[in-house]
Amino acid sequence: MRKVLFLFAVLTFISCKKESEESFGKPETTTEVQKPEELGKAIFEGKGACVACHKPDVKLVGPSLQDIAKIYKDKNGDMVTFLKGEGEPIVDPTQYEVMKVNFAVTKTFSDEELKALEAYVYSHLK
Ligand code: HEC
């Protein structure tokens, strides 16, 4: 009899465990969809560290985001390709060497992340 009880206890324990595992990892129903622009901002100020050289409206080490956005729009530039290291500089080619260093980082970003960065830069368009 004791053996049976023990077995019962073990079975109950296993089935409980299974249940809690199943409920774990279910997609949350309330997760908000993050706008590309917001993701871009997070990368720009976070792991991209772009903010060290680029400010929204003043030139620092690199051109301001307003200037980049304007020139990319006027010249129909492809920022994603540029950040992959596969394009040509169109904003300030004389300083390209300084920007080039960052491709080591931006090349590790996904297309989604690069597009998010582009959306963030474009959000500064006046
Ligand atoms: C060490 C300073 C520095 C950092 C950090 C930096 N940049 Fe730049 N960036 C520059 C400079 C200088 C230029 C101007 C040269 C040029 O136009 O390529 C530039 C230019 C650019 C351009 C215009 C390129 C063109 O077509 O001429 C874009 C877009 C850009 N940066 C995006 C970024 C992003 C996104 C990050 C973060 C992942 C970043 N930068 C980080 C210095 C930096």
Give the model confidence (pLDDT) of 103-120 as tens digits: 999 999 999 999 999 999
Q: How far is the CA of 83 from the centre of ligand 1 (A)?
A: 9
Please state whether the predicted TM-score (pTM) of the whole model is above 0.85: no
The confidence band for 33, taking pLDDT boundaries of 50, 70 and 90, is confident
Q: In this structure, are residues 15 and 9 in contact, taking their beta carbons and an 8 Å threshold?
A: no
The C-alpha angle 46, 106, 63, rounded to 5 degrees, equals 75
Domains of the chain as residue ranges with CATH: 36-122 (1.10.760.10)
- Give, for ligand 1, the residue of 99, 113, 120 to mutate: max count of ligand atoms closer than 8 Å to Cβ: 99
- The values of phi and psi at residue 19, to 5°, are -60, -45
Residue 116, ligand 1, Cβ within 6 A = no
